[in-house]
Amino acid sequence: MGGMQRVATELYEALTKRTDLELSAHLLQKSWTRHWIEGPFYLAQGRRLIRRLAERREVDAILFSSIVTPALMFLPKRLLQANGIVTAAIVHGRDVTTPILPYQRAVRRAFGMLDAVHPVSHASAGVCRERGVPEEKIHVIPNGINMRRFRPLAGRDAMRRELRTAFPDLTPPFDADGLLLCSVGRHVPRKGFAWFIDEVMPLLPEDVHYWIAGNGPEAENIRAAVARRGLEHRVRLLGRVSEEALETLYRGADLFVMPNVPVRDDLEGFGVVMLEAGLGGGLPTIASNLEGIRDVIAEGVNGRLVESGNAWAFSEAIMAYYHNRAALEDAARRAAAYTADTFCWSAIADRHVHVLRTLTSGVPALSEVEEELAA
């Protein structure tokens, strides 16, 4: 699953456990291949379901897991308003910025129909404002992570042995004092993987290795960067990995790297993988100070933010941990604790429900600006 799909799945699971609301769901749970085939039927069925629920007044509020669904569903706005039904959508980033003119018109129409918009970051909120969403509709609510998804952390040596066992053909001969960096994500230009290999890896010692999990259209460029720099012995492209292998990678690595670069119309709305790395492996993140990444990383707590495209800044942040393993161990504990305390799904679900409940009761929910003033 991609980040948006995992967010939808885990938020739904958190909502099912609540006893203070009745939950009805209309889900499309298919592989990506079947998703594109069955998507139009799902949207048509969803529209009929919403119309029926509205006519019978059997629902108070509707929450969409991304802006795509209400943008393409052509909701019966007058019927919903006539029956006092509140509508809201989570906004991730790419679901808003996809640069296709008819889709952009549909997104703006959906924003006009919705009662509330729940961007996952301040960067995602920004692209909503650019498309005319008024401030009072915007309620920034971050993504969360399932606290039970990963095993409890063990000692570094034990987790490193797990990694060697899981990837016997790919394990490089790095010594015990070396650092293992990792990145996870779809191989697209905004992730900055090829840039990091080209510009940062040559600045790091020979016993610093870099493993990347995932696949995508940028894979060939990434492989070319590895070959161009002669880093085949230090950089490993793992391709698409299983959930079990992904957890083992997080547990066996030392630092997570998010070297994003700005790409027009391709926003990093949040970055769930940084939560996975923090909780699943206790990994501090070295990340570009860019877009939705800023909402995940608390400087010096669960990672470091550095200037996007600044190779020396990335190398210096990594080398600070390379030279001070005690600081790395402390950072690992902070990263795991901060992720668990800040991004637990039950707390995130509370925030979604709070906005919907205040809107259905006729009391306007506080906007982001109003919340800051109240605080």
At 67, list the tokens. Answer: 């802006």
CATH 3.40.50.2000 occupies which residues in the chain? 3-144+344-374, 156-342
pLDDT tens digit string along 69-97?
999 988 888 899 899 999 999 999 889 99
Determine the CATH number of domain 3-144+344-374. 3.40.50.2000
Q: Mapping DSSP to helix (H, G, I), strand (E, B) and coil, where does residue 125 land?
A: helix
User: Average pLDDT in the 28-39 region?
Assistant: 76
pLDDT tens digit string along 320-369?
999 999 999 999 999 999 999 999 999 999 999 999 999 988 755 555 54
Q: Is 266 exposed, middle or buried (0-12, 13-18, 19+ CB in 10 A)?
A: middle
For the stretch 35-62, what's the b/e string if a residue is b when 16 or more beta carbons lie within 10 angstroms of its beta carbon?
A: eeeeeeebbeebbeebeebbeeeebbbb
The Cα 216–Cα 338 span in angstroms is 31
Q: Which CATH superfamily is domain 156-342 in?
A: Glycogen Phosphorylase B; (3.40.50.2000)
Specify whether the CB–CB gap between 65 and 8 falls below 8 A.
yes
The Cα 199–Cα 310 span in angstroms is 9
Q: Is 94 exposed, middle or buried (0-12, 13-18, 19+ CB in 10 A)?
A: buried
Q: Is the pLDDT of residue 220 over 90?
A: yes
Q: Is the pLDDT of residue 18 over 50?
A: yes
Strands (E), 36-128: 61-64, 86-91, 116-119
Which of the pair, 361 or 311, is modelled with greater confidence?
A: 311
Helix axes 325-342, 272-281, angle to 10 degrees: 120
Of 166-170, 245-249, 355-359, the least confident: 166-170
Confidence of residue 374 (pLDDT cuts 50, 70, 90): very low
